[in-house]
Structure 1
Amino acid sequence: MDVIMNFEALIDSQLIYLKQLARNYTSSEMAADDLFQDTVVRIWSNQDKFEMGTNFKAWSSMIMRNLFINDYRKQKKRRNDSAYYDEEKIESHIENSGEQKMIYDDLLNEIHTLATNYSKPLELFYEGFSYREIAEDMGISIGTVKSRMHSARGYLKQRLAS
């Protein structure tokens, strides 16, 4: 019981600091309140991981920082996902499929002029294979796959710009 009261006193001593820190991380008051509340919940749920006598301010600040970063990454991923599936983009893709097919065919023709060591990784990548899968398929390292794709893209960029 005494440990819980000491932990509660530690939290109480940092509430003002944590609220201000949340405001510094976010751009709106509502987002700051959410971050602050999530941090306090996370602090309470992880109190067994805190060692008494260590720097509580730094520990609680790190929890808030990690929550903020994780939320930022989730929001960024959601924005990217929703932008990909945006109806306007899907509709414009359908409307311009002939033009895009011509561009894609021209690009494929240029890719086929490359040596197989350079064209195969590009083709596999654009078919949806990961670098790891391409490396396994070709029997080379992932670094080699990335290097060949970089070189091939540079060559294609030069060829298509002229």
Structure 2
Amino acid sequence: YVTTDVPRVGLSRLTNHPGENFFHFGEVIYKENAGLFFLYDLKDKSIEKQFHTTFRLLADEGIGGDRTLGKGLFNEPEFSNVDINVPSNNSGIVTLSLFLPTQDELNDIGESYYQLISRRGYIYSPQCQSLRRKSVRMFKEGAVFTTNKKGRIVDVTPEIFKEHRIYRYGLAFTLPCVLEVKNED
């Protein structure tokens, strides 16, 4: 893949002329047939058909920013089952997703390894496409914890947006792992 930084100038919403709003837009361009994939675990198998349909729609609509310029499109996804071997003597978990802990889960991160990231962005809705969502700090993928974590979904609707609620998904997608303790002796 290749990452690029594209300079942009924002247009004034009043005059439709370039203003002083100069910024950079980051893009990631993947090679054809890069083999991107994602994992999912449906707790309710009765919604599997709708889940597949949703991802076929996303392939047509695109994901990420600049969808109105044709960015974020991908080929129709293929779905298959995969078996993952997990340790039977696990002593912790590793997150495969972003994770937004509950307050109780935050109180129990003493022996954990993680990085934080701020997530923000714009609303993508028929009622509005240029309003910023509230930002939220989350644990990055690859965080390691000694106890199981569930996470939460949080409302990130801006105060001035009244059409409907906007949510950030922060439930943890985890796999068991074995924590190794190294003696400093």
Bigger helix share: 1
Both proteins in one fold, TM over 0.5:
no
Name the structure with the higher strand share: 2
Structure whose CA Rg is larger: 1
Structure with the greater relative contact order (CA < 8 A, sep ≥ 6): 1 or 2?
2
